Structure 1
């Protein structure tokens, strides 16, 4: 319960696509993923030339850091958020400006205030990893109104499919209306293709052009492409599975609140338990009883929603720990 993996394995039609494509693995096939980009464009209602597939959203984010930032530039993002952002910035030689959350949510006013002439990119993780909070459309629109033209806004929507539709902004609509906005999504979470490594970026040509020049070196495998296309064709089933996960998330959330834990409502496939101290002790207690969770010392513990039995096991451990600590 530590890696934000889905409990749902790939759907049968996805497995069939993997096996079918594997039989032609000795061929080049669609080397640059044109077919997948066309399928994504049709699915999203955007132009195919505005879509770029890559070997996971993390790889695409690293490419954005490498092409949009560099030495003597800043990247602004909320904190805590995905721990990979500072590492990606360091790889590109960029400096990160980490803006503390207000409560558990992005402080968009403070983030806008942190933007300077050095800023090249702003990251919005919604739902935010690890807190699970989401940004709605109006808040992001007001935020965009405060930003200068030279700043690219990257909306990381890795966990969007687990959110209540009315609670999270539509990054694709924001992209259509504003050339500064690009959206990164992944097939790793809701679609269950984590090990196949496939994600995509939706952006306008000024952002995509420098990424296309290195596309041959960041290709998505033919197997992953066909798996992703098959997964898109099973969108209704994928969303039903996400709804099941959300129900389990909310049930576990209510249980933890009843036990006396502080935990914000989440729109991801995980819950956040803020803890300024005792993180190591709690995570070790869970591990000693066969449950692995993600501890962030000095900040809190992130718990991935898993199978009902695993969620119940964690809830019982959390209750025992809480009783002993009070």
Structure 2
């Protein structure tokens, strides 16, 4: 089914007219896991349907306890919601209630940031990246008395770069307390081997900080829409009261609880994705492409004005990648056969581009 043209939605494919999941080809534009990490997940979901006539727990208490135990934090610091982007929306609406309030984030960024800020009536302040990373000093310089929130995506979407721990800590200590810091760590599980901040370890020392995590990426539950936030008690209490009751379904909570209980199984799949990320990155660089260093489950090609042409040519061969304006192309790490297809296409695209240039 095709979709009418209109404003881009968060994480849209490069071409809205293309199906999100083509029957033939490779979907590499949505940063999904190539497979569900948990074996026999269907049995868990089927069991949870036995109570489908009952409302879910409005506070997802069993999942909340599991998250608190995992990170060794108090239960009252955990807020579970229908995806981390939905929680972000409530954070921004609460932090920036007045028209003209400012919210700072990087450019390019996850599409939802602009949508959430604009829907709150706030003013987006987009700070360009520097060397594919957050320009922390410029973000600090952008803080004004009207700044109400600052969003950091680490690892960054769409470039995949991660900030080192020391730089992040120094930056966080400089942000004024009147600014709510949102640390979006949707891709944190893919940072293994990288020196980068772990939000759950530091948020309790920062009264203005909210950490977002997702079950959509590493845990492979994108279709169930569930995520969570960690924040100091008072902030978490306010945020929890803003969420609609029963917004997390029984089936989503059951799947998330199973994923946390079987983290070794999840991380075996994460390790496979990380290995495939290395193969994709090495293959593209061997062909001569500039590839940003990634700590996420995707790679970034800073192609500039060639980005739309690259994505369109890939789509014609059944490979959906994400062109981010005329800044770059984001390629999700998929199955090995998807990597093979992408590398074949990239080599062909480079050869054809070289031929056109010489002609």
Band of TM-score, shorter chain: over 0.9
Q: Is the 8 A contact 2:92 2:120 kept in 1?
A: yes
Summarize deviations over 1:22-49 as a string: whole Å, max 9, x none. Answer: 1111122423211111111001111000
Decide which of 170, 176, 192 is 1:142's aligned counterpart.
Answer: 170
Q: Which residue pairs with 1:87 in the alignment?
A: 115
Decide which of 41, 53, 56 is 2:68's aligned counterpart.
Answer: 41
Cα distance in structure 1, aligned partners of 2:156 and 2:240: 28
RMSD after superposition: 1.3
The answer on 1:213 being equivalent to 2:241 is: yes
Deviation at 1:268, TM superposition (A): 0.6
Q: Which residue pairs with 2:3 in the alignment?
A: none
Q: Which residue pairs with 1:32 in the alignment?
A: 59
Q: Is the 8 A contact 1:31 1:222 kept in 2?
A: no
The within-5 A match list for 1:1-326 is 1-12=28-39, 14-70=41-97, 71-217=99-245, 219-326=247-354
TM-score (structure 1 length as normaliser): 0.97
Q: Is the 8 A contact 2:164 2:197 kept in 1?
A: yes
Classify 1:201/1:165 alpha carbon distance in 2 versus 1 (closer, same or farther; 3 Å): farther
Moved more, 129-138 or 275-284: 275-284
Cα distance in structure 1, aligned partners of 2:168 and 2:266: 27
Moved more, 172-181 or 192-201: 172-181
Moved over 6 A (4+): none
Q: Is the 8 A contact 2:58 2:245 kept in 1?
A: no
TM-score (structure 2 length as normaliser): 0.88
Structure 2 regions of 5+ residues with no counterpart? 1-27, 355-359
Cα distance in structure 2, aligned partners of 1:136 and 1:152: 21
SS at match of 1:184: strand
- Aligned residues between the structures: 326
Moved more, 245-254 or 27-36: 27-36
Moved more, 213-222 or 3-12: 213-222
Summarize deviations over 1:293-317 as a string: whole Å, max 9, x none. Answer: 1112211111101000011101110
Moved more, 73-82 or 277-286: 277-286
Structure 1 regions of 5+ residues with no counterpart? none
Cα distance in structure 1, aligned partners of 2:151 and 2:236: 17
SS at match of 2:319: coil
Moved more, 28-37 or 213-222: 213-222
Classify 1:218/1:58 alpha carbon distance in 2 versus 1 (closer, same or farther; 3 Å): farther
